Structure 1
Amino acid sequence: MSFLETDRFSFLQAEIISNGEKLIYTKSTWSAPKHYYYEIYAKFQQKTELLRLLTVPDWIDFGQRAIGTQTMFYPKISGQLEVQDTRTDSEPWQVTLQAETPEIGSVYLQTAGRFVSLEEAVPLFTQKGSFITDFDNWSKELVLTVPIEQQKAGTYSLTFYWTLTTEVE
């Protein structure tokens, strides 16, 4: 028998009772030495409190576009952003996003009609507790702006930096 652990709970001990005898067992696996009837009570404890950035989007795709027809490009975001917060006294946390300067153009976060450059880390979410989003109903948008005179055929890539912090201003 195995006493399985999860990301939130760890095995402490098992109390094994057979024929009136009680055995305290602390290893995570146990094999019955004989074919008897056993009562088993397992005790688990919550693991250390955690705040983790579990997943970020797999892909941010600004797509293929004809040169010279537009200057603002909005991506399709594939994947989820997931924060796990198992802290008992959950304080606010914040996820920020920063983009490396692209080869051509600039990357912004558009929110409430304002464009904020992603050259520096920009707050995306400030929350308490665990959180998950697939960006479908997101009130902010990523925007790549490329002036027509900078547009040229090619394949370009960007690097995004996602940061989880607990020091929320």
Structure 2
Amino acid sequence: MGNASVFKLKRQVVPKPAGKLAVISVPDLDFGNQTVTGLTQILRPRVQGSLKIEDSRTNGSRKSRLYLRMARPFKNGNVDATRCLTYTNQAGQEQTLSSQAILAEVNVGITERDVSSEWNTAIDSSARGFKLTLPIEKQKIGSFSGELDWSLQDVPGN
């Protein structure tokens, strides 16, 4: 008699969470037409549209994290002003944007949130949202453009 091996495979079904976790809409940001000056400019954008997220999951922790990164640098020709852009979250933490994702917001127990409605144009410690601090050497006639990438990720429960 030869040696025989028996393998039993068990099919395991992983339940899909009910509902969804999604970024519903993203806005455009417009820093407007500015004059080249001999001073550093601090600018807040006009927000066109809204940044809305949805969490309609019915099971699990209903915690999520919203991440932000520059998908395309904020440039005008060869002048790169990406590192001049910052994002201040609801906790008051200001972070510099780059191609590396930053934790923009933490969400707990929400069903829908309009994150952009929480942004403002203040220039003091109550400021929330985007800010462009443009030093003299980054000011150039023409248009700056770039692209942001938002991603929403599940935070597993304990």
Same fold (TM over 0.5): yes
Unmatched 5+ stretches in structure 1: 1-46
Q: If each structure's helix is expressed as a fraction of its own residues, which one has the higher value?
A: 2
Q: Which structure has the greater CA radius of gyration?
A: 1
- 1:54 CA drift (Å): 1.3
Alignment RMSD: 2.5
3-state DSSP class of the match of 1:63? Answer: coil
Which of 149, 152, 156 is 1:161 aligned to? 149
**How far apart in 2 are the matches of 1:109 and 1:48?**
32
Question: In the alignment, which residue of structure 1 is the partner of 2:30?
Answer: 61
Residue type of the alignment partner of 2:52:
E
Question: In the alignment, which residue of structure 1 is the partner of 2:67?
Answer: 96
Identify the range of structure 1 (158-167 vs 102-111) with the bigger mean alpha-carbon deviation: 102-111
Deviations 1:131-154 (A, max 9, x none): 231624335221122211221100
Deviation >6 Å, runs of 4+: none
Question: In the alignment, which residue of structure 2 is the partner of 1:144?
Answer: 132
1:113–1:83: structure 2 CA closer, same or farther, 3 Å change rule? Answer: closer
Whether contact under 8 Å (1:101, 1:107) holds in the other structure is: no
Whether contact under 8 Å (2:116, 2:129) holds in the other structure is: no
Larger relative contact order (CA 8 Å, sep ≥ 6): 2
Where do residues 1-169 of structure 1 align in structure 2 (5 Å cutoff)? 48-57=18-27, 59-68=28-37, 69-91=39-61, 92-99=63-70, 100-103=72-75, 104-105=80-81, 106-110=84-88, 115-119=94-98, 120-127=100-107, 128-133=109-114, 135-138=116-119, 140-167=128-155
Aligned length: 121
TM-score when normalising by structure 2: 0.65
Question: In the alignment, which residue of structure 1 is the partner of 2:6?
Answer: none
Deviations 1:94-131 (A, max 9, x none): 11111243223221113577541111222222112322
**How far apart in 1 are the matches of 2:43 and 2:88?**
12
**How far apart in 2 are the matches of 1:85 and 1:150?**
40
1:114–1:61: structure 2 CA closer, same or farther, 3 Å change rule? Answer: same
Whether contact under 8 Å (1:78, 1:134) holds in the other structure is: no
Question: In the alignment, which residue of structure 1 is the partner of 2:10?
Answer: none
1:125–1:144: structure 2 CA closer, same or farther, 3 Å change rule? Answer: same
* Overall identity of the aligned pairs, in %: 24
Unmatched 5+ stretches in structure 2: 1-16, 120-126
TM-score when normalising by structure 1: 0.61
**How far apart in 1 are the matches of 2:152 and 2:94?**
22
